[in-house]
């Protein structure tokens, strides 16, 4: 082995070691770095327009874009999260004292079903209403307890939250200002053809923008509409249910129906017919129409990823990466598809060089 090969292998080993060490150091602020990068990609078109209007003053353009992000995204999100945690704590207190018991509502629904349905449930071994009621009550209590616990944790970890928020905004500012140069430098480090690099970077940016803007726009629209309808029908905790519908709407096909459909069934079987019909029609026509129209336009049209792939990758991303997974999952899926699309041309290029 000559000296040049030895030096190169030693350098690769050193490069791998310092890369792993650097990632290990950054892990405590993984969420802040991740969302700083995502927001920089999503708002880069706005930053470019501001940069053009400000005649090439990058610092001012980046600061103005950052201020817009804080006013449009950060502050509303903090206010909604605070209200949600407070309402979740109130729901937990009502459940723990027995004032609110979802198991009782479930028992009323089952009791109102016709005998034929009871026979069918017994045939499939799920006719034990008492057992199902206890499980539902326990699950609801655990969920509300989680929100109450998070409310306490947020209060106790305010300092860490502020540090993470500061790191995200700090990184976001420099990514807005220097993002184009960083992207060009990153492309030079990837040992692929220029066409392949352009394809992968374009797919990466497109999927991030479409997933964040599209999924969040659909989720917020559906959650807001559902929460407003719950408030109109006099359902307690409308904000909490609206936020839950917002999160569940990140899942294509099912989403918000997991919340409003059981409530509509409860209304129908307990005699509140007009409330049940109103909620059902509103859920199917209005909330469902938002999903069927906006999601393909904002997500599927740009990413060109089938709905079933988006659903599976979103679920998988959420289970592996938590809340960040609703972006990471579809992003990995899109890059997987993009790489396999490039595979035949990569083989042809390799054969031509040989």
Residue 53 scores a pLDDT above 90:
no
Query: Cα–Cα distance between 201 and 286 in angstroms, integer?
Result: 36
Where residue 6 falls (left for φ over 0; alpha for ψ -120 to 50; beta otherwise) is alpha
Residues in the chain: 354
pLDDT, average across residues 53-75: 88
Q: What's the pLDDT at 65?
A: 92
- What count of other Cβ atoms lies within 10 Å of the Cβ of residue 146? 12
Task: Give the alpha-carbon dihedral of 326, 332, 334, 335, to 10 degrees.
Answer: 150
Contact criterion met (CB below 8 Å) for 295 and 303: no
pLDDT of residue 254: 65
Percent of the chain exceeding pLDDT 70 equals 68
Helix count and strand count (H, E) for the chain: 18, 0
Query: Tens of pLDDT along 201-235?
Result: 777 777 777 777 777 777 888 888 888 888 888 87
CA distance 310 to 334: 9
DSSP per-residue letters across 283-322:
IIIIIHHHHHHHHIIIIIHHH---HHHHHHHHHHHHHHHG
**φ, ψ (nearest 5 deg) of residue 254:** -95, -75
- Contact assessment for residue 143 and residue 81, using Cβ atoms and an 8 Å cutoff: no
Q: State the virtual CA torsion across 204, 210, 211, 215 in degrees, nearest 10.
A: 180
The whole-number pLDDT of residue 129 equals 47
Q: Which of 57, 239, 232, 72 is nearest to 147 (CA)?
A: 239
**Given pLDDT bands bounded at 50, 70 and 90, which one contains residue 153?**
low
């Amino acid at each position: 082995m000559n000296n040049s090969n030895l030096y190169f292998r030693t350098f690769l080993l050193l490069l791998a070691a310092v890369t792993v060490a650097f990632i290990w150091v950054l892990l405590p602020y993984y969420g802040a770095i991740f969302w700083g990068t995502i927001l920089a990609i999503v708002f880069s078109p706005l930053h470019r327009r501001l940069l053009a209007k400000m005649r090439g003053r990058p610092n001012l353009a980046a600061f103005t874009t950052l201020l817009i992000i804080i006013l449009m995204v950060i502050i509303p999100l903090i206010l909604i999260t605070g209200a949600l945690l407070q309402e979740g704590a109130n729901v937990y207190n009502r459940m723990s004292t027995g004032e609110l018991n979802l198991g009782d509502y479930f028992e009323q629904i089952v009791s109102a079903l016709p005998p034929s349905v009871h026979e069918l449930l017994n045939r499939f071994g799920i006719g034990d209403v008492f057992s199902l009621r206890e499980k539902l009550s326990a699950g609801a209590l655990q969920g509300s307890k989680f929100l109450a616990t998070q409310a306490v944790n947020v209060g106790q970890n305010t300092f860490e939250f502020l540090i993470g928020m500061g790191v995200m905004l700090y990184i976001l500012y420099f990514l807005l200002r220097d993002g184009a140069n960083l992207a060009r430098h990153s492309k030079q480090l990837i040992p692929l053809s220029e066409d392949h690099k352009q394809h992968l970077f374009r797919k990466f940016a497109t999927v991030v923008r479409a997933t964040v803007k599209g999924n969040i726009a659909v989720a917020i629209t559906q959650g807001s509409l559902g929460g407003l309808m719950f408030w109109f029908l006099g359902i307690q905790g409308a904000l909490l249910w609206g936020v839950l519908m917002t999160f569940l709407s990140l899942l294509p096909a099912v989403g918000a129906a997991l919340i409003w459909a059981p409530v509509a069934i409860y209304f129908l079987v307990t005699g509140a017919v007009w409330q049940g019909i109103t909620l059902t029609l509103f859920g199917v026509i209005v909330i469902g129409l938002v999903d069927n129209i906006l999601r393909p336009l904002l997500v599927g049209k740009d990413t060109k990823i089938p709905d079933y792939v988006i659903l599976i990758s979103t679920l998988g991303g959420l289970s592996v990466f938590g809340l960040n997974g609703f972006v990471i999952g579809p992003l990995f899926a899109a890059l997987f598809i993009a790489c396999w699309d490039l595979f035949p041309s990569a083989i042809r290029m390799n054969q031509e060089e040989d």
